[in-house]
Structure 1
Amino acid sequence: MNGIALWLTVAFAVCSALAAAALVVLLVARDRERHRMARRDPLTQLGNRTMLAEEAERVLGGIADMDGDGSHGPALLLVDLDGFKDVNDTLGHAAGDEVLVEVAQQLVAAAGPDALVTRLGGDEFAVLIAGPVSAGGAVVRAKRILGGLTLREFRARGVSLDVRASIGVTVAPSDGRTLSDLLQHADVAMYQAKRARSGVTRYDAANDEHSPDRLETLSHLREAMLEDQLHVRYQPVIAAGSHGLTGFEALLRWHHPERGLLLPAEFIPIAERTSLIHALTRWVLLTAVRDASRWRQAGLEASIAVNISPVSLEHGLLGIVEEVLALHRWPASQLVLEVTESAVTENPEQARAVVGALRARGIQVAVDDFGAGFTSLSQLRGLPVHQLKIDRQFITALDRSPDDDAVVTAIIDLGHRLGLTIVAEGVESLAAAERLHELRCDDLQGFWFAKPMVADEVLSWASEHAANARATAPAPAVGHA
Structure 2
Amino acid sequence: MARLASVCYLTGGLVGFLTAWLVPAWDERAAALVVSTVALLAGVAIALFGARLSVRAFYLAIFPTLGLLAVQMGMQRGHAEAVAAALLLPLVSMFLHAFYDHRSCLIADTAVLVLLVVAWVAWRALPVAIVGTLVCVNAVVASVTGWLVHTAAEAETDLLTGLPNRRGLNRVLRSALAGDADHRLVLVLLDAGPLRSPAARDGTAAEDGLLRTLAAGWSAEAGSGTVLARYGDTTFAVLVRGGVPAATATLERLRAVAGGAVPAGTARWEPGDDHATLVNRAESALSEARRAGGSATVHHEDTSGIAAGFEAALDAGEFSVAYQPIVAAADGRVTGAEALVRWSSRARGPIPPDEFIPDAERCGFIRTLDRWVLRTACRTAASWPAGVPSKITVNVSGRELDQPDYYDDVVAALAESGLAAERLVLEVTESTLDADSVAALEVLRRLRTLGIRIAIDDFGTGYSSLSRLHRLPADILKIDRSFVAALGAGEEDAPIVAAITGLARTLGLRTVAEGVEDQHQADVLRRYGCDEFQGWLYGRAGEPERIAAALAPGAGERLSGPSLRSPASSGPSRGRS
Determine the C-alpha separation between the residues in 1 that align with 2:396 and 2:361: 11
Do the aligned partners of residues 471 and 261 (structure 1) sit closer, same or farther apart at CA in structure 2, a change above 3 Å counting? closer
Do the aligned partners of residues 301 and 320 (structure 1) sit closer, same or farther apart at CA in structure 2, a change above 3 Å counting? same
Q: Deviations over 1:87-109 (max 9, x none)?
A: xxxxxxxxxxxxxxxxxxxxxxx
Q: Deviations over 1:172-227 (max 9, x none)?
A: xxxxxxxxxxxxxxxxxxxxxxxx9xxx979xxx9799x9x854432221111100
One-letter code aligned to 1:333: E
Q: Deviations over 1:372-430 (max 9, x none)?
A: 21143232112111001011111123135759821111111111111111000000000
Matched, 1:256 2:352: no
CA contact (8 A) 1:337 1:366 kept: yes
CA contact (8 A) 2:384 2:551 kept: no
In structure 2, the partner of 1:221 is: 310
One-letter code aligned to 2:472: L
Matched, 1:423 2:525: no
Matched, 1:352 2:416: no
Instruction: Give 3-state SS (helix, strand or coil) of 2:399's partner.
Output: helix
Matched, 1:362 2:464: no
In structure 2, the partner of 1:405 is: 494
In structure 2, the partner of 1:293 is: 382
In structure 1, the partner of 2:525 is: 436
The aligned runs of 1:49-448 (5 Å cut-off) are 214-296=303-385, 301-314=389-402, 315-345=404-434, 347-400=436-489, 405-448=494-537
Do the aligned partners of residues 437 and 318 (structure 1) sit closer, same or farther apart at CA in structure 2, a change above 3 Å counting? same
Instruction: Give 3-state SS (helix, strand or coil) of 1:365's partner.
Output: strand
Q: Deviations over 1:224-262 (max 9, x none)?
A: 110000000001111101212111100000112233222
Instruction: Give 3-state SS (helix, strand or coil) of 1:367's partner.
Output: strand
Q: Which has the higher helix share?
A: 2
Structure 1 segments (4+ residues) deviating >6 Å: 206-209
Instruction: Give 3-state SS (helix, strand or coil) of 2:529's partner.
Output: coil
CA contact (8 A) 2:327 2:334 kept: yes
Do the aligned partners of residues 351 and 265 (structure 1) sit closer, same or farther apart at CA in structure 2, a change above 3 Å counting? farther
CA contact (8 A) 1:370 1:391 kept: yes
Do the aligned partners of residues 371 and 332 (structure 1) sit closer, same or farther apart at CA in structure 2, a change above 3 Å counting? same
Instruction: Give 3-state SS (helix, strand or coil) of 2:558's partner.
Output: helix
Determine the C-alpha separation between the residues in 1 that align with 2:461 and 2:395: 16
Do the aligned partners of residues 240 and 282 (structure 1) sit closer, same or farther apart at CA in structure 2, a change above 3 Å counting? same
- Output the TM-score relative to the length of structure 1: 0.51
Determine the C-alpha separation between the residues in 1 that align with 2:405 and 2:316: 26
Segments of 5+ residues of structure 2 without an aligned counterpart are 1-288, 562-577
Do the aligned partners of residues 256 and 441 (structure 1) sit closer, same or farther apart at CA in structure 2, a change above 3 Å counting? same
CA contact (8 A) 1:399 1:435 kept: no
The aligned runs of 1:31-50 (5 Å cut-off) are none
Q: Which has the higher strand share?
A: 1
- Output the TM-score relative to the length of structure 2: 0.43
TM superposition shift of 1:302: 1.5
Determine the C-alpha separation between the residues in 1 that align with 2:543 and 2:298: 36
Aligned residues: 269
The higher relative CO (CA closer than 8 Å, separation ≥ 6) is in 1
Determine the C-alpha separation between the residues in 1 that align with 2:477 and 2:468: 13
Q: Deviations over 1:420-456 (max 9, x none)?
A: 1100000000000111110000000000011111123
Instruction: Give 3-state SS (helix, strand or coil) of 1:333's partner.
Output: helix
Determine the C-alpha separation between the residues in 2 that align with 1:401 and 1:368: 27
Determine the C-alpha separation between the residues in 2 that align with 1:201 and 1:401: 39
CA contact (8 A) 2:431 2:461 kept: no
Segments of 5+ residues of structure 1 without an aligned counterpart are 1-195, 473-481
CA contact (8 A) 2:328 2:334 kept: yes
Determine the C-alpha separation between the residues in 2 that align with 1:401 and 1:319: 49
* Fraction of identical pairs, as percent: 38
CA contact (8 A) 1:394 1:404 kept: no
Alignment RMSD (CA, Å): 3.2
TM superposition shift of 1:464: 10
Do the aligned partners of residues 457 and 268 (structure 1) sit closer, same or farther apart at CA in structure 2, a change above 3 Å counting? same
TM superposition shift of 1:350: 2.9
Matched, 1:457 2:563: no
Determine the C-alpha separation between the residues in 1 that align with 2:315 and 2:331: 41
In structure 2, the partner of 1:147 is: none
Determine the C-alpha separation between the residues in 2 that align with 1:222 and 1:300: 36
